Amino acid sequence: MLNEIKQVQQTALLLHSEEEVEQAIDNMATEINTMLGDRNPVLLCAMNGGLVTTGKLLTRLNFPLTVDAINASRYRDEIRGGEIKWLLKPATPLKDRTVLIVDDILDEGYTMEALFEFCQQQGASSIYTAVLIDKKLEQAKPISADFVGLEVEDHYLFGYGMDYKGYLRNAAGIYACKESS
Ligand SMILES: O=P(O)(O)OC[C@H]1O[C@H](OP(=O)(O)OP(=O)(O)O)[C@H](O)[C@@H]1O
Ligand SMILES: Nc1nc2[nH]cnc2c(=O)[nH]1
C-alpha cells in the first residue's frame, strides 16, 4: 500500500501551490467575515476531508462562533462516489442557528446536499456552505457553495484534506492524480 501511495504522490501533477491555496483561503475568510460576522454561526467541519480547510479558516475568522463536526461519506477509500453513509452527526443543537458547513471539495455535490438537508431537518435558521475546491463538471450539481476557494478541472485530487485511499490528506498543495480524469 505505501508503495502505491508513494507512486501516486511522485507522479501527481501540482495544480495549486501552497501559496496559492493559502491566498484562496484568505479570500474565503474575508468573504465569510463580511457575511457572517454578526450571525453567531456554528461551523460544521465535514470530516474527514474538511479538517484542513476548517482549521485554516478558523484562525482567520474574527467573530464569535462555535465549532462542531459532521460526517457523511460516499467515497471512503474509492475514487468514485457511492452511497452516502452517515458516520457522525453534530452534538450541537442546530435549531435556530446559522450554520456554516465547511468541506474540502464540492464534486458531484451529493455529500453537501445531504449535509445541507440534515441541517434543514434540524431546524437551522440559515445554512451556508464553504468549500476549498469546486470541481468543474459538465453536469449540473444539486447544490452550489456560497464560499469557494478555487475552481479546479475534473481530476481526482489530493492534498489540503483530500485523500488518496485515506493517505495524502497532508500534502501541502492541490494535486491531480495521474490519468484520473
Ligand atoms: O461532491 P461529492 O461528489 O459528494 O464529493 C465530495 C465529498 O467527497 C469527499 O468525502 P469522502 O466521502 O471521500 O470522505 P472523506 O471526507 O473522509 O474523505 C469530500 O470530503 C467531500 O465530502
Ligand atoms: N480526495 C478526493 N476526494 C474527493 N471526493 C470527491 N471528489 C474528490 C476528489 O477529487 N478527491
* Ligand 1 binding pocket includes 104 (Cβ within 6 Å): yes
The CB of 73 under 6 Å from ligand 1? The reply is yes
Question: Ligand 1: does its nearest atom lie under 6 Å from the Cβ of 134?
Answer: no
18-27 contact pairs (CB < 8 A, 24+): 18/172, 18/173, 20/150, 21/132, 21/149, 21/150, 21/160, 21/173, 21/174, 22/56, 24/132, 24/149, 24/150, 25/53, 25/56, 25/57, 25/60, 25/132, 25/149, 26/60, 27/149
So where are the chain's domains? Answer: 2-176
pLDDT tens across 115-167, in order? 999 999 999 999 999 999 999 999 999 999 999 999 999 999 999 999 999 99
Ligand 1 atom 10: the closest Cα is on which residue?
73
Q: Grid coordinates representing 86?
A: 452517515
| Residue 163 CB less than 6 A away from ligand 2 | yes
Specify the CATH architecture of the domain 2-176: 3-Layer(aba) Sandwich (3.40)
pTM above 0.95, yes or no: yes
What distance in angstroms lies between residue 5's CA and the mean position of ligand 1's atoms?
Answer: 19
Q: Which three cell numbers stand for residue 35?
A: 457575511
Sheet harboring 66-73: ordered strands across? 85-88, 66-73, 42-46, 98-106, 126-135, 147-152
Verify whether ligand 1 is closer than 6 Å to residue 49 (CB atom).
yes
Residue 47 Cα: closest atom of ligand 1: 16
Would you call 85 exposed, middle or buried from its count of C-beta atoms within 10 A (0-12, 13-18, 19+)?
exposed
**What is the tens place of the pLDDT at every residue in 92-124?**
999 999 999 999 999 999 999 999 999 999 999
Please determine, for the modelled complex, whether the ipTM score is greater than 0.95: yes
